[in-house]
Amino acid sequence: MTSIVFMGTPAFSAPILTALVENGYDVQAVVTQPDRKVGRKHVLTPTPVKEVALKYDIEVLQPEKISGSPEMERVIELNPDFIVTAAFGQFLPTKLLKAAKIGAINTHASLLPKYRGGAPVHYAIMNGDAETGVSIMYMIKQMDAGDIISVAKTSILPTDNVGTMFDKLSLVGRDLLLATLPTLIDGTAKPVAQIEADATFSPNIQPAQEQLDFTRSAQQLDYHVRGLFPFPTAYMLLNGERTKVQGVSVVAESTSAEPGTVVKKTKHELWIAAGEHSILSIDQLQPAGKPKMSVTDFLNGNKAEFAEGDQVIF
C-alpha cells in the first residue's frame, strides 16, 4: 500500500485528505496547524484537516513551525512514499522533502507559474480572471517553482468569491491528485519545468488592501470585494465607521459625481460613485460590531446618518 504523510490545514485541504484515505492510500500521519481559539467565546478549535484525521484515527502532528521541529523528525522517521501538501502554508526544508521515497508534491490552487504564493485564489478573482485551476507540482526549495506534473482548469463565474472558489478548487484538486498519484507510482508521469519568465506572484493579503479605493471603477471594485470575501473581507469608511462590504453589484448607469460620493440612497439602495464615472451598488454589508445584513436592513437602522452627496472616505 502506498504510504503518505499529508500536510494541510483549512477546509480546502479536508476533502483531499478524505479522498486519499477512502481510495486506499495509507496516510501514516497528518501535519496541520495547532488548534486555534475561534469566535467571540474563543473556543479552542481543531483545523478541518485535524477533524478528518481524527475521524480516521490518523496520527496528528501540530508544530507551530515544521522546520527543525520534533514533528519534522517524526515525518522523516516514517519515510513515506509521498509527502502531499495542500494549503499547508509553510516552507518545507530540503531535509524534509527528501524524506519522501517517491516524491514531495503540492496541490496548489492556481495555474502555475501564475500566482505563486499564499493567496492565488484571491488574486485571480481580484484581477478579474475568467479561469483558474489547480496544479500538482513537485516541491523544491524555491516557493511554488517545482516541475508541474498535472493541471486542471475551472471557470471563475461572475458570482464567485473566494469562498465558492475554494469549495470548487478543493474538489478539482482532489480529483486531479487522485488521477496523478498512479502516474507517479508507475513512472508514466511527465513533469514539465515552469517557464520562469511567465511567473507572477500572489503574496498574502495585507490590511491596507482591504479598504476599498473608490477611484477604481465599479467593475474593479466588484472584483475586489469578491476577491476578499469571506476572508479577510473588504471595507469602506461610511460616515466615519469601518463597514465591511460583503456584496456589491455594478450599476448600469454613469455619474459625474466625484468617486466616493453617495449618489443614491433609498429604502433599498445605496449607490456610490466610483472611478471612470461608474456606480457601485452596496448590497450586503456588516457595520462594526453588528451581524451581516442586507442594505435594506442597514438603511432602515441608519436613516439619518448620511445622505446623498456625502463622501465615503477612501
112 is in an annotated binding site: yes
110 is in an annotated binding site: yes
Distance of CA 210 to the CA centre of its chain: 15
CA distance 288 to 240: 11
User: Nearest to residue 127, comparing CAs of 217, 210, 223?
Assistant: 223
User: Nearest to residue 228, comparing CAs of 251, 249, 208, 205?
Assistant: 205
Q: Residue written as cell 500536510?
A: 7
Buried b / exposed e over 274-305, threshold 16 CB at 10 Å, is bbeebbbbbbbbbbeeeeebebeebbeebeee
111 is in an annotated binding site: yes
Q: List phi, psi (to 5°) of 70.
A: -60, -30
- Which residues fall in the annotated binding site for (6S)-5,6,7,8-tetrahydrofolate? 110-113
- Which residues fall in the annotated binding site? 110-113
